[in-house]
Every structure is written in structure tokens, then in C-alpha cells.
Structure 1
Amino acid sequence: MMIEAPKFSGVAGDIDWSRSALGEPAQWPHALRLTLDIVLNSPFPMLLCWGPQRIVVFNDAYAAFAGPSHPSAPGAKVPPMLPAPLEAAYDAFEQALAGHTAQAARKTVSFIIPGGPQTRDCDLHFTPVRDERQQVLGVLCSLAPATQPAAESAVPAAGLRILVVEDNLDSQYLVCEMLRAFGHDNDGVAHAEGALEKLAAGNYNVLFTDVSLPGMSGVELARRALQANPALKVIFASGYGDALLRQVEFPHKSLQKPYEIEQLQKVLAEVGATV
């Protein structure tokens, strides 16, 4: 039986992975293919630590962030020592290995360059990558320049707490990873009924929901959520324009699918300024 080669988008599809420590892509789990698509096509510094060998893959943005002497992307070799961000926030890295998202704010990360170490103050975000059985296979680390003190920032330094409601699981995963890369804590759920349960049990600032959901619509979900928590901020994502939102009676923000990263950041900044 022939195994169809996995499909990648952008940069990930141009790499001969069979020559790397990860081996033939046809043998990869779906979680690895999807995560590498996110990492290598992201404009933000990211690295993935994968498997018991701790194979490390990173993107061009991370290589540039680490300095001119750092190896170029994508990596994918078993490193002799942990990469600098994982060493700098090892406790948070271990939390992610144990299956918990973790953040480490204002960590000093040292990169080795000719002439001595180069240090950068970073905010680090660690996300466990799981397979279909919820087993942790790797850890995704996103880096950002250290945030300013809360009094100087439009968005609280700890970030927003966002519930993402999206029935397409690949899209849900991508949105959640982008939000974590921006420094926001989040959870994902595929339908409105599950979202209401999450909202009742969790302390969320923002509901970020697709308009068109199986069963209850995103608009009705938001209406019920606001009845329970009037302070909740609502962001809608829609592939059908604003036609379904013209009669919405409560304040909200909206994004037209497909939206750009800059559009998402702008909406989050506007919402963050009102929390």
C-alpha cells in the first residue's frame, strides 16, 4: 500500500526532512506535521522540542533573534545541550512536558556568539503538543521581547484569558497557538454547549467565537454568555462577511475570515485596552 506524502504549507514543504533527525515525514504523527507548519511559517520566534531525544526545530525568526552566529532554520538535530530559552526557564519547560501550558516572564536568555554571550530579556510561552490520545510528544516554545510593566502597557502584562470556539479543529489549534505566541492564555472548544460549560467554570476576559457553529450559533452563544457575565468581551470570526452580525444588539468586535495576523493583533489590543 502506498502512503501518501503529507501535505505541508509554505516553508515546511520545501525541506528534505528525510535527511534530518525527524526522518521521513510519511511516518510522522499528525501533531508534528501541523506544529511544524505553524512554527516554520510564523513571523514570531518559535522552537519545537520534540520526542524523547529532544530534537529541536526552529524558524528563521528564532535564528535571527538568537544572533548572526546561530545556525539557520530549521534545525532538527539532537542538540548537545538544551537551547537557551529552555535552559532559562527550565521549570516552565518541565511543566509543559508534564502537560501544562506555562509562561515565564522577563527571563534573561543567553545566546553564545563570538566574543562572549549575548543576553536578551524575553517572555517565554510553553505549550505541550499532544497526540490523539492526549500524550505529550513535544513542547512548543514561543519568544517575545519582555513586556513593559503593566502600567505602561495597553494590555495587562499577564495577557488576556480567551476562550476560542471553533469547530474546525485544525483552525482551532492554529488560533490557540497564535494567541499563546502573543502572550494570552486560552482554551479551545468545538461547540457552543461546551463553551458555556467552560465559561461557567473559568475566569475568561474574552470570548472569541466563530459565527457559524454546529447547533447553537456563535451569536446566540455570545448572547447567553453575556447574560451570565456582562463584562465579557466578544470577538466574532466569520467567513460570511458581516451579514449575520448586523442585527447583533451587544458590543462586539469582528474579523472576516481569512484574517491577517496584524488584524488579529489590532483587535486584541483594542479589547485589551478595555479590560
Structure 2
Amino acid sequence: MAERIRTHDWSDTPLGPIEGWPQSLKTVVGMMVAAPNPMVLLWGQAGTLIYNDGYARFAGRRHPELLGMGAREGWPEIADFNDTNIRRALAGEAWSLKDQELTLDRRGSPEPTWLDLDYVPVGDESGRPAGLIVFVTETTDRVQAERRVREEAERQRQML
């Protein structure tokens, strides 16, 4: 993703060309692209999306067009959810959501998806929150497996 980010035409986004990005943004992007786990940065009020390889795999068919889009346009099915989270982070709040259920269209049709999401505000040069980084861990397989075990246990109880 580092090369894709470097060669992306950012001039049509609220961020503008990379040469004009604040050092804080360049630094967090550099750290993020080196990370092995899925991470996405949402910068500014629009939540301009920059992400790493792990998140590119998570995004499925939305990648690579998702890069540089605003969060609302990039993930329209969860636009209100993302708007709320951007507001919270820009107010300086950090938080986590465990097994958050979202319906996402990553493979051509909407599907229920469960995620652990950790949100951290990212400051600009003045120290004020200017964006947020999200650590994304998909928990869908585990949540669905636990649900099947509970349903089977309930079915067994009803048989007795």
C-alpha cells in the first residue's frame, strides 16, 4: 500500500498533494502501512480514507477505489455510524467496540460482519485531533461459531 499511497492522485481529495500534508499525517501513514494488522486512517471531517495492506484485504472489492474517498462515500451502508465515530474522535475521545455488528458490502452483496474496532484520535501539528486511526479485527467467524454452539445446545435442551 505504501507505493499505492505514494502514487495516488491526492489533489482531488481534501488532503491535497502529499507534499503539502502535515508531518503528523505523514508519520501516522508511515507507521500504519508498516503494520501487519488491518488499520485505516480517517482524516478530517470527511474522514478521507488511507489504509494498509491488511485493511485492503478486509475491504474486499472496494479496494483500491476506496483509497482517498471520504468515509461516507466509501462505506455508504454505514455512513451514519462512521460520521458518529469521526465526530467522537475529533472531539478527542478514544474508545473500543467489541463484536460490533455491521452489514457491509465487501464481496458484491451486503453481509453481516462482526468486528472489534479500536479508535484512536490522531493530532495535527498543534496537537488538536485531526483524524482517527482504527484498528480492525474481524470476529465474524468466532461470533458465528459461538452462535451455532448456543443454538445447538438449545436444540439439544429442547429435545430432552
Quote how far apart the aligned CAs of 1:116 are.
2.2
> How does the TM-score come out when normalised to structure 2?
0.69
* 2:102 is equivalent to residue 109 of structure 1: yes
Change in 2 beyond 3 A, CA 1:37/1:114? closer
1:70 to 43, 59, 62: 62
Select the structure that is richer in helix: 2
Q: 1:58 deviation in Å?
A: 1.7
Query: Structure 2: how far apart are the matches of 1:112 and 1:96?
Result: 25
Partners in 2 of 1:23 and 1:90 — Cα distance? 21
AA partner of residue 112 (structure 1): D
| Deviations, residues 31-55 of structure 1 (Å, cap 9, x unaligned) | 1001111222221111111123321
The within-5 A match list for 1:93-242 is 93-113=86-106, 116-146=109-139
Number of aligned residue pairs = 138
User: Which of 25, 33, 40 is the equivalent residue of 2:26?
Assistant: 33
Q: Are the equivalent residues in 2 in contact too, given 1:86–1:93 (CA < 8 A)? A: no
On the 8 A contact 2:115/2:137 being kept in 1, the answer is yes
State the distance in 1 between where 2:102 and 2:111 align.
Answer: 8
Equivalent pair of 2:117/2:134 in contact (CA under 8 Å): yes
Structure having greater relative contact order (Cα 8 Å, sep ≥ 6): 2
SS state of the match for residue 73, structure 2? Answer: coil
Aligned-pair Cα RMSD in Å: 3.1
Matches within 5 A, 1:47-86: 47-67=40-60, 69-72=61-64, 75-81=67-73, 83=75
Task: Name the amino acid aligned to 2:57.
Answer: A
Aligned 8 A contact 1:40 1:74 in 2: no
Aligned residues of 1:106 and 1:146 also touching (Cα < 8 A): yes
Rounded Cα–Cα distance in structure 1 between residues aligned with 2:135 and 2:43: 14
Partner secondary structure for residue 81 of structure 1: helix
Flag the 1:94–1:14 CA change in 2: closer, same or farther, 3 A: closer
> Mind listing any 5+ residue stretches in structure 2 that lack a counterpart?
144-160
When the two structures are superposed, what TM-score results if normalisation uses the length of structure 1? 0.43
Give how far 1:74 is off: 7.0
Q: CA deviation at 1:92?
A: 4.6
- Larger mean Cα displacement after TM superposition, 92-101 or 33-42: 92-101
Aligned-residue sequence identity (percent) comes to: 23
> Offset at 1:76?
1.2
Which residue matches 1:192? none
Q: Is the 8 A contact 2:40 2:51 kept in 1?
A: yes
AA aligned opposite 1:11: A
Indicate the SS of the match to 1:75.
Answer: coil
- Please report how far the alpha carbon of residue 14 of structure 1 lies from its aligned counterpart in structure 2 after TM superposition: 6.8
Cα contact 1:12–1:36 (8 A) shared by 2: no
- Larger-gyration structure (1/2): 1
In structure 2, what is the equivalent of residue 205 of structure 1? none
Within 2, Cα distance between the matches of 1:137 and 1:14? 19
Q: Relative to 1, partners in 2 of residues 1:89 and 1:70: Cα closer, same or farther, differing over 3 Å? A: closer
